[in-house]
Chain A
């Protein structure tokens, strides 16, 4: 399913339509099946079958991904549990290089004969397609790691929490929102566990256990007399965490005009707040269009980072491989080569990071067996690097891949995907409240809303969940109908303040879409609250 379909249904109260569209690759499994993993020795044995079969057919390189992917969805609408779905998908994907060309094949038939046949098929596809390539694949060297493993550092496996406890939490969220005056509330909890085993002809055998959790809701408030309606979405973030994310902790709350959350989320409190704020939003003043200084909360800024920094620094886009779908990039190689392309103001430092604990992109090794790392994309405002994988590394003069390879399942071929891309907090001590004190005419934006950006990532428009008007250093009330438009380079050069480490938080997406056929990927973006001066704000109210 495409991200937008998901958002569409999420906005509409998560009905049966959503379920019909979910990318449920695999088999539904009973809801109370105990959580387990598959024996590593067994996976190694199967992987070796594939490696040997591919080599004997003429592959010069082979990697094998044995994946067991578990999803659990719990969906509620007002006082009803609409559905509970568990899915499991288990199979093997084999990628080979033969005659200098990639070939890929996959199967869910996990007997040795089927695996050997699939490996042979991958080699024959590579050989066939090698007629249609212009230059052979050049793979950056990668040492084998032997037998290694990585586990997400979770405290409580969400798949082990009884279903009833999870469903009851969502029903309490409905109750809190409805009691708070909401007309409708749809909630869901979406759990992911990727049990990934990677083996390659380089001599790596890597076993990984990845966990993700996303609790969220949409509250709708309607003014019956005028027919006007507004929504307020949860201020949670999808995270690479266990159920501990849903165990509130006072020290993880940031109190202000609205409560914001660091590494623990209080879903009930947020639902109560959402109902009150939706009522307030319904009566809020419609924004006067013009230039404003924007104070962007991390719950909002993550999506702007994702679209305007994450995507244009993807090397496959820069090179034209995504031209027919996701688009190309304005960050062309000459800008990088010049070493002086001023992407943002000198305050702007943006890193790519596949190691950050609790983030959606964190793994020990990527899907082509490269140990993950952290590197600068934008240093003191200047473009210094991209995101690359093994067959692209040589293009930007790297001797090693940056470990950005990912596939959404064993049945899809891996390719370059965005690592976590995050704005580094300011080095000088600064809180969002102190930042707001210096703003004469501004808007403080919380939560992500509508989003759109051009195919080369210059011109964008973003909305949010909550908009607070700032006048002479004070928040004076809520606004509505706000969206801001800017140009990526202009916007990041207008960044005039970034709060310090204490305010740093992660946002993110489960559904970053790219490729044809499209694959989704989950990615986090961290930042502290940041200030952007003189940004163009439009009024989005219309009449039909």
Chain B
């Protein structure tokens, strides 16, 4: 019952709005349903179901706003939640950065909803997990994994006449396989809108292959190496940079996008010219929201074009203050790649390191976006175009900005999922020179 159709959601929002006496009122209705299974040691450990709906009302008098939220849908609840929001608004301090609500707008439809994913059941999740456990047992490995699917909808309406609705589905699967001696570990992650693209058997096979081939790793000296980052590694590294595409922090002088001496780096050649990064909610392989919560339509936007900073996001308030047009934050991120396969990238490498996955990445210095983290679940030494042997894991200290200045080659773009946020991206495997490893880790 948590997923309302467009007309049903609109009818609820209209009823709620009818109670408003505020200068401005914005109502958001969202619902989610889905479920998950977690397993470890080749057996299910926990399973859960999610089913919730939330109605949220923000009322504003002048520049004073209040928000109230409720999870009941009936006439009495509608009245109460609006009254609460209005009481709160009257108590709230003035927000000098309050921006008036936007009026009606037509948004193109998003392609995020896939009926097959919405139709997933505890049984189909269990079946996907059983396949994965089967592969691990066959390979004499221990599997620990997680599958979670959800169907969401969001609808907004405001007192200026804006109405928007969208719905989406997602399924995320992650799998770690380890050998019993604890000397080898492999991993795979998949995230899709469409469950028919998810093959837990194939993903677990890849994790198993990594686990077996990474056993008995040799230590090599830390230092600067040419690395090939598989998409799941590159995605996690770059996600930290995508968060920083904000003009305000840059203009205020406290971001890697700040220009020394004042202003931001718009128009600057910040990375190698092989690097182009954009957002496109209509990309068939990575459908995303076509509007944002402020009521702006989202279109294809170039952020980094051949290494040059093309756009930064401006909130309505910051855009007005700086005298520019607002630029909403992107709802997805796509990085252009090349034509080479991962194997071809390896073949073209005289000496280097193949990195399957990165782990526990944290910001060290906001000024340069220096990050630290470790390799994990399959790190291999490459010599004369061939994988020679597994190597022990490294800690790195590297900035994605410096890294994207050292791009030697980009491979074919893949849909890849961040292992921390579970957001999906389109990212190529990449060959990077002078990637800085600073110490060895004994972890497997």
Interface residues of A (CB under 8 A from B): 2, 4-5, 8, 11-13, 15-16, 24, 26-32, 80-82, 84-85, 87, 102, 104-105, 108, 125, 128-129, 132-135, 163, 167, 183-184, 220, 222, 224-229, 231, 319-325, 327-328, 330, 332, 413, 415, 450-459, 461, 463, 481, 483, 485, 487, 515-517, 536, 538, 540-544
Determine whether the beta carbon of A220 is less than 8 Å from that of B146.
no
In the assembled complex, B30 has its CB within 8 A of some CB on chain A: no
Pick from A82, A104, A461, A540: contact of B95, CB below 8 A.
A82
Determine whether the beta carbon of B182 is less than 8 Å from that of A332.
yes
Determine whether the beta carbon of B369 is less than 8 Å from that of A544.
yes
Q: In residues 360-382 of chain B, which contact A (Cβ within 8 Å)?
A: 360-370, 372-374, 376
Pick from B47, B174, B259, B373: contact of A452, CB below 8 A.
B373
In the complex, chain B residues whose CB is within 8 Å of the CB of A129 = 44, 47
In the complex, chain B residues whose CB is within 8 Å of the CB of A80 = 93, 95-97
Pick from B126, B246, B362, B367: contact of A451, CB below 8 A.
B362
In the bound assembly, the distance between CA atoms of A319 and B95 in angstroms comes to 51
In the complex, chain B residues whose CB is within 8 Å of the CB of A87 = 69
Interface residues of B (CB under 8 A from A): 36, 38-49, 56, 67-71, 84, 87-88, 91-93, 95-97, 122, 126, 129-130, 142, 144-146, 148, 174-176, 178, 182, 187, 243, 246, 248-249, 252-254, 256, 258-262, 270, 315, 359-370, 372-374, 376, 393, 395, 397, 399, 401-402, 420-421, 438-444
In the complex, chain A residues whose CB is within 8 Å of the CB of B178 = 320, 323, 328
Pick from A125, A457, A540: contact of B47, CB below 8 A.
A125
In the complex, chain B residues whose CB is within 8 Å of the CB of A13 = 249, 254
Min CB–CB distance B239 → chain A (angstroms): 10
For B54, the closest partner residue in chain A by CB is A27
In the complex, chain A residues whose CB is within 8 Å of the CB of B363 = 8, 11, 450
For B369, the closest partner residue in chain A by CB is A544
Min CB–CB distance B41 → chain A (angstroms): 5
Determine whether the beta carbon of B70 is less than 8 Å from that of A483.
no
Determine whether the beta carbon of A544 is less than 8 Å from that of B175.
no
In the complex, chain B residues whose CB is within 8 Å of the CB of A167 = 93
Determine whether the beta carbon of A540 is less than 8 Å from that of B397.
yes
Determine whether the beta carbon of B365 is less than 8 Å from that of A540.
yes
Given contacts A4-B362, A30-B88, A104-B46, contact A324 B441 (CB under 8 A): no
Min CB–CB distance B440 → chain A (angstroms): 7
Please name 19 pairs of A and B residues whose Cβ atoms are closer than 8 Å in the assembled complex, sorted by A.
A11-B363, A26-B69, A30-B87, A134-B42, A227-B259, A231-B366, A324-B187, A451-B362, A452-B372, A456-B442, A461-B372, A463-B364, A516-B38, A516-B174, A517-B148, A538-B397, A542-B365, A542-B370, A544-B369
Determine whether the beta carbon of B442 is less than 8 Å from that of A459.
yes
Min CB–CB distance B333 → chain A (angstroms): 16
Most buried by B among A15, A16, A454: A454
In the complex, chain B residues whose CB is within 8 Å of the CB of A458 = 441-443
Determine whether the beta carbon of A229 is less than 8 Å from that of B439.
no
In the complex, chain A residues whose CB is within 8 Å of the CB of B359 = 327, 454-455
In the complex, chain A residues whose CB is within 8 Å of the CB of B249 = 12-13
Determine whether the beta carbon of A516 is less than 8 Å from that of B36.
yes
